[in-house]
Chains A and B, each alone.
Chain A
Amino acid sequence: GIQVEQSPPDLILQEGANSTLRCNFSDSVNNLQWFHQNPWGQLINLFYIPSGTKQNGRLSATTVATERYSLLYISSSQTTDSGVYFCAGDTGGFKTIFGAGTRLFVKA
């Protein structure tokens, strides 16, 4: 089956720093999404981004579908950005596959 690799697995940032998270897929995927899981366990959809670039405040995401990867950019990080970031996609139909996540800790 399809493999989803996220890097880095762990990341510690000083407040105000920028970062790039990466998601690689072993095969073409549809409906690529990025999620944030906060320290209380709640999952929030950040971006639905099957291709192209989107921005939402300090966050932006780029998906290059032909090369099977997606990037999540966090600028001017804040302590509230801490948590786990997941990417997910499907290969057709409804079976969504998640990556293992990038655990981010932002220090004040």
Chain B
Amino acid sequence: NAGVTQTPKFQVLKTGQSMTLQCAQDMNHNSMYWYRQDPGMGLRLIYYSASEGTTDKGEVPNGYNVSRLNKREFSLRLESAAPSQTSVYFCASIGQGWYEQYFGPGTRLTVT
């Protein structure tokens, strides 16, 4: 049982490049989330997927797109990276009934 996994762990992009961050969970959770964490700040919700087949915007969705590929996987795409998207990205999942939210190890992204 690996929990929530994220790939890659680190990434450096040039302005304008695109990339997809991958997230997978093996806990059969319904809901999945993407957050970003900037230095000295808490986490801010980018997008979430309440259940397979649905996605919704969070607090800071501009510049991102998501895909809930199946129940296990939830990907985050940056179509045209900007320096303001330099951050640490966390994926999380939660099971039915709203209990503990489980986080992946994070992806540290730098956009130059």
Contacts and interface: CB of A to CB of B under 8 A. Distances in A.
Contact of A95 (B40, B42, B59, B100): B59
Contacts, number: 55
A96 B101 contact: yes
Chain A interface secondary structure, helix, strand, loop or mixed? strand
A27 to B, nearest CB: 15
Interface stretch (B11-19, B44-52, B62-70, B76-84): B44-52
29 contacts: A1-B59, A30-B98, A33-B100, A35-B101, A41-B88, A41-B105, A42-B103, A43-B90, A43-B103, A44-B103, A45-B101, A45-B102, A45-B103, A48-B98, A48-B100, A86-B43, A88-B42, A88-B101, A94-B33, A94-B48, A94-B56, A96-B33, A96-B101, A98-B42, A99-B42, A100-B40, A100-B41, A100-B42, A101-B41
